[in-house]
Amino acid sequence: MHGGRDQGVEGLRKRSRRPRSSPSRLPADLESLICELRQQHPRWGARPLVHELGQRNVQPLSSRATVHRILVRNGLVSHQDQQHKRKYRRWQ
C-alpha cells in the first residue's frame, strides 16, 4: 500500500505528489541544445527551433509546444504584447 493503515501515524503525513520519475521528459542534453540554439539565434521561436532540430536529425524530435515550454522554463522567452491586435467582428 501507499500509506495509511499499514504505516500508522507515519502513513498519514503529507508527502510530495511529484512523480518519482518522468519517463516522457526530454533528455537534459536535448534541452541544453535547444537553449544553446536559442542563445545563438535570439529571434528564433519554437517553430524555427523545431525545424532546425529536424534538419539536424535530432531524436526524439520535440513538439513546438514542448520547445516553447523549455524556453519559458529556462527564462529565454518573455511575454510580449501582440503586435497586431486581434479585431473581433460580431455577427448575428
Query: 30-89 pLDDT, tens per residue?
Result: 999 999 999 999 999 999 999 999 999 998 888 999 999 999 999 998 776 656 777 778
Is residue 39 included in any domain, yes or no?
A: yes
The dihedral over CA atoms of 22, 23, 29, 30, expressed in degrees to the nearest 10, equals: -100
pLDDT of residue 59: 87
**Between 3 and 61, residue with greater pLDDT:** 61
Is residue 9 included in any domain, yes or no?
A: no
Domain count, the chain: 1
Is residue 59 included in any domain, yes or no?
A: yes
| Cβ-contact 50, 63 below 8 angstroms | yes
Whether the model pTM is above 0.95:
no
**Angle, to 10 degrees, between the axis of helix 28-40 and the axis of helix 64-73?**
80
| Cβ-contact 30, 61 below 8 angstroms | no
Helices (H), the chain: 28-40, 46-55, 64-73
Is residue 15 included in any domain, yes or no?
A: no
Is residue 53 included in any domain, yes or no?
A: yes
